[in-house]
Each structure stands twice: as C-alpha cells, then as structure tokens.
Structure 1
Amino acid sequence: MTSLKDQRILVCISGGIAAYKSAHLVRLLTQAGAQVRVAMTQAAQAFITPLTLQALSQSPVHTSLLDADAEAGMGHIELARWAHKIVIAPATADLMARLAHGHADDLVSTLYLASQAPVFIAPAMNQAMWAHPATQANLQILRTHQVHILGPASGEQACGDLGMGRMLEPEQIVAALQAAVGVQQAQGPKVVITAGPTREPIDPVRYISNHSSGKMGYALAAAAQALGCQVTLVSGPTQLACPSGVTRVDVESAEQMLAACLSEVAQTDIFIAAAAVADYRLAEVAVHKLKKDQSQQGLTLNLVENPDIVATIAQHQQRPALVVGFAAETQKVQAYALAKLQRKGLDMMIANDVSNPEIGFHSDHNAVTLITKDRQQAFDIQSKKELAHQLMTEILQAYTNQESLSNRE
C-alpha cells in the first residue's frame, strides 16, 4: 500500500451528521504517517468538538477565517500553502454549492480558493438533496475545477432514508488518497480503456451490434484522467463526448479495436476492457446491399468468431502490468465472471448483471462486483460516474502495489 508518510493533508469538516466519521479519518491519516491539520466550519462544531480533533491530529484546529494570532491575521493563506492535499469530509450540499460558485465567506471556502493543492471532496447528505438537479449541477462545476469526488455511497441514512448520499467510510477515503499518491510517484501510468459496442458489417448498410452505450467506459476514462493518468480511450460508435484530457481512438469493428489496442500495448501500464465486443462477425461481408429474395424463407448468415481482445492483451509478450476485464452477464454473474478471469489470465474482472434494467447498458447507474483471484468486492447501485471513481481508485491501488512488489524484487 502506498505510504502517506510526510504528506501534508488538510482535513476540512462541514456541518453534517457524518462529521463523526472525520475523527476516524484524521486518526487513520496520522497512523499512515501523514501530517494532518484540521479546519472546521461553524456548523461542524455542533457535531464534533475541535478539542477531539486537536487530540487526534496533534495540531491546533482552525475554526476562524479572521484569526489575529495566526500569521498576523493571514493564517488561512499560510494554511492553504502548507497543504499537499485538501480533503473535505463531509461536504454538505450547502458547502458544495458555495465552493462551486466561488464563495469565500468562511475559513473552509476561502482555503478552497486560496490553495493550489489537489482537492478531494466526500459528499454527505440526504438522498433527495444529492439527487436534486441543483446539487448535480454544482457537482459538475466542481469536476471542471478538477476536484476529485469521493463517493457518495448508497445505503441507510441518519434520517431513515435509503439511497445515495452516505459519506464514504474513512478507510475508503484514505485508500483514494494513497492511490493518488501512487499515481504521482509513478508519474501518471498510461491507461488504455476500451468502451462502447462494436459493429460487424453484413453489407454496406447493415451490421451486427449490441446495446452498449459506452457510458461505463467513458466514465472510467474520465475518472482515470482526473486521478492523474495518461488515458487513451479506444471507442466503438457512441453518442458520448470524449472526456477532457483523454485521447480517443474511434473504431467500428472488433478487429479494428484489437488493432488499435495492440498499437498501444507496448506503452500501456493498465489495460481496461470495458467495451462490449461482438463475439462474432460475418465470414464474408457482402459488397452490395443484400436484397430480399421472395423465393427464400429467411436468411442464413455464416458467422465466425471474433478475436478475444482482453485475452490477447493479457497473453501478449508486452503485457501491461494490470489487465482488467468486464463481464456483462444475465445469470450466474459472479461464477461466470470468475471463470473468465481464470481462463483469460486477467488480474481483475468487473462483473455486472445487464438483465436488470436499472443497471443495464443504457442506464446512468450501475452495480458491480470486482473480482480477483483472492477476493470479491461488491459495489452497490450508484451513478456510473461515482462508481468509476471508486473502481479506478481500486485499480490504481492494485497497480501501485504491483509496482512496489516489482521494485522490491
């Protein structure tokens, strides 16, 4: 696991019931070797005392924007310059709105504007507040500011509701920070991600394809780029815009997708096969449009098997350090995914049930199970954007662990 030793981390706490988790977060960060300072909003102090956090961080807690005793009244500037990373946990809907629109009316919002350090936000609020269009619009603005959004998770909330809005557990937040440090130390691994469907032509006007929208692969590309990776997205036909900072290679067929991936393999550190690749193509594509023959009952197409892209990459002599596959199944999801992991020689498999319309191909939400040879981890239903960030955090942590092991060997 990547060390946080000597990382200067500023933990900012806003006023929500999840503030009680921040004490554990501060403790975990200090145990990981980080230097931790804490800043609190006035509302946060109604849920947890500065004295508690001072004891855990072993540093004075900052609660006031205008502190005459701190650096001649400019303590917020000193604190903003001090931080290597800023973690806002919990981040309420109100605080996210103020940050998105550039307010600087308290210590935490001013620190956000005054610092050039990477910012990680762990939202925490009622599920209805999280789903409200205003909150989602603010979320998108923060993403354009290159803010890393951690969560939220889905589950039971303090108000009794069920749904998205729970703050991530402190262990998950620490893992995200460790992954970010690992990326910096590796100077940004090269990640190749496949996405979308392929189209296998029948004749000049018809093709065989599937229902994949490409949303999960594009979300992974955006998350990887936000976490500091160099990202190439090999995409089948979709209606999606390429994420900012990502290089996209457009393809149509499975053979074209494989060729594009093989051209990148020598420089690839992590390969993620999120595309829904057609298993079969026509043995011979008609030169002209096939005409309906009134004398025949039906049409027979001669199909041959397409190359298995992820297995080809996993078995390549210049194999990337980490190869991740996707298994879209309609039954026995985990069993089939584990068999594919073993048969294809992959490091990770991400399995989802596409028979469920709530998390199927065209949905904006997904629920998956991450499978390795040693463990299985379920991720509850949530937006594909939030899920992508959690999955990329896990993938980058696994990559960093492999790199550390290789260096020791």
Structure 2
Amino acid sequence: MAHRFNQTNIVACRGPWAGHISNASNLCGKGWNVCSWKESSMLKQITWNEATTIEGCYAYDASQDGGTCKPCISDHWGSDDLAAVGKSCQHQNLMSKSCIGLGKIDASCCVDSLLRRACTYRPGIASGVLCCKKEAIPSLPQVRVIVDKSNFIIGENILLVCQVSNAKGPLNIAWLKDKTLIKVEEINKNSQSKLSLNKINHHHNGEYTCLATNDDGTSQDSIKIRARGHQGCAAGDNRLPRKYYNISACPGRWKGHIKNGGNLCGDNFQVCSIENVQSLNEISWKDLFFLEGCFSYDATHNSKQCLRCKETAVMAGLGRSCQYKLKPKGCSRHGYLYSKYSKKAKNKCTYNKGSTTGVMCCRIPSKKEVIKGIYCIAYVILLVKMEDTASIGIIYAFANSAIMEMPVNSRTVHKSIMHIKVSGIYRLPS
C-alpha cells in the first residue's frame, strides 16, 4: 500500500524496477511519475522526520553528490549517488544539503558507477520509488483573427475568420463587438468560426474580438474595423467615376440648409460650395449626362455672380435630372443647373424629396498639400527677385504641377499668386 506524505503530492510506492530509475514509472499510478531532481521544490515539502521514519527506502531520480541536487547518471562517478528517503536507507547525513533541503539520504552511494549499478534497483537496498503527481500543463487555445481585406470600404462585404489551435477538450467560440456578445451563424466548426459583415457602413465600426474557451481557460484575439467612404461619400456610394479624385456625388437626404449635408460626405470631404466651383467644372459633359439625379451644393446662380445658397434663391445642382437653363453666366460652366422647387417653397436650400438626390462633396486639402504649394510659390518668387529667367520656367512648371494635385479651391489661390509675381519678368505659358 502506498504511503502519502503529509500535505504533499508525493507518495512512496513499493516494488522493483528494471534499468535506470527513470524507467520505474510503472510503479506509479495514472497521472503520477517517478520524482526527480526537477521536482526539488515539491520534495522540500517532506520533513526530515518523515524522511527518516517511514519504513523502507524509496528512491527517486536524483543525485546528491557533494550536497547538490542533479540527475542521477549511471556512468558518471560524480553523479551516481541514488537519492532516497526512508528509515531503511543506508546513508543518512543531517548536516548535508540535498534535494529535500537540509539533510541528505541516499539508497546507495560512492562507487556505484564503477560497479555499473548506479541509479538501478537492487534488492535489499531499495524498497520502491517516490512518485510525484504530474502538474497539469494548461492547454489554452491559441486564437488568431484574420480578415480577407486590408481596407474596409463602405458597401463591401468583409469576412472575419477566427482560427483556434492547441485546444484540448470541449471548445466554445464566441464573438464580441466592443465587448458586447454578438450572434454568429457559423461557429465552432473545425476549430474555427466565421463572422460575415455584409455591405459594411459606419455602424459596423468597432473592435471585434474572438473568444475561445476550453477547460483550461480562455484566449482571445481582436481586430478593429473602420469603414471608410470611397471617393468622399460616407455611405461609399459615389455616383461619379473614380477619376474625379477631389469630387463625389453622394446620394441621401439631409436636415436643414445644404451646408449641413456633410453627413453624406466621407472623411476629409465637405459639401461643395462656391469655393469649389472650378473643381466642379472639371466634370465632363458626358459624365454629367450619365449622372442620374440632381446633386446639390452650397451655391445659387445669379446673373452677376456666384453666391452661397440663400433661402429665397434657387439651389445649384449637378445631374441629368436637374432643371436646366442655358445661360453663359452662373456658378457652373454647364449653365444653370438647379433643383426644382415649388414657387411657394419658403426655403429652397434644403432637401426636397423628388427633386434633390443628394449632395456634391469636395475634398478638403490637407496641411501637407497647402504647405507644399506655399513652398513652391516661395521658391518661384525667390527666383523672380533674383531675375533668374532661365530657371523660372522649369521651377514654375514644377510648382504648377504640385499645385495641380490640390483641390481647386486651394489651387486657384496659389496659381493667382504665382501669376502676379512672375508675369512681370517672365512670359507665362498659356
């Protein structure tokens, strides 16, 4: 019958074994193995009194030569003393250090390696072995969330896949969005779960977390989703061709004055106004003809000048469904294009169901673009002051190219400054 030491996971098991003591685990029960020098912290729980009063001599896989605690090596004379505990063990020394702390006990010692009997069973020397309970090694799931896209464009579909590996036992997989549990149709199939996000918009923005749980615990991995509008529309449904990098036609309704329609525009875009007229004029007649609907912007046509939209005026727009008057003046080179309102309408700068489809959105120039243009202008002006006519043409062309990358509302100001400064000494290209 096995003897268990007080308040420990160590038992003394009787019986012989063949070969090296590390092969004696057959004497231990399921979930137990022969104690060794690796379990020294556990062995130190045995008191000296217990170690010397238990009947018999129970060995374990360790050598305590010279007061150490190391593996028992059968062919090395400095590591061949077979460690043990028990009243019958032949070699006991209270004043020496060992694997159990203060006090050294060996089943056999000294020249066993020379006699080729080190670390082995010998009748009359050992009664059996010490068995230590195996420490359960947690087998936490390893979780990885992968996504089929690197950019999250509004209106597109996204598939999130949670891959789980190294999971033992029953496995449960769950998805959370911003720490709130969400329902998933396909889950826990072949240690993976799929989460489909269809026609994403800003409501899908957030942090998506996959939780995998088994008997040993829970692991997780997360990914952040931020849907971005394509070509300036918050909903990603720009009706203009992609070649118009600075302009977008965004369908939808808004509340109040047209200037409040920015909710339809994407990041770094705003409702176009009189400052963006030249940018709007870049739209070709062909693309304007195929633009279904009437998209408004913050402007009103006037026979003398282009003004911001006022309540009593007619709101300017672009699209084949807009009202049209062919006049040479106005906010657009395309003529008088405007949204249709009844004569009784008190405010003609608002959304009108049936006549307004959405808004025109224009890109807001970044600080980098503005600074780049300013530097280019400054360099051209410097050359003008130096009267370096040979270099002005080259630098002017470069500066003009840099400015042309900017939205037209910023571009116009920069070009005007250059024209004024340069025209005095250099003939500008037409």
**TM-score tier (shorter):** under 0.3
| Greater gyration radius | 2
Higher share in helix: 1
Comparing both chains, which one has the higher relative contact order based on Cα–Cα distances under 8 Å and sequence gaps of 6 or more?
Answer: 1
Q: Give the alignment's TM-score, normalised by structure 2.
A: 0.24
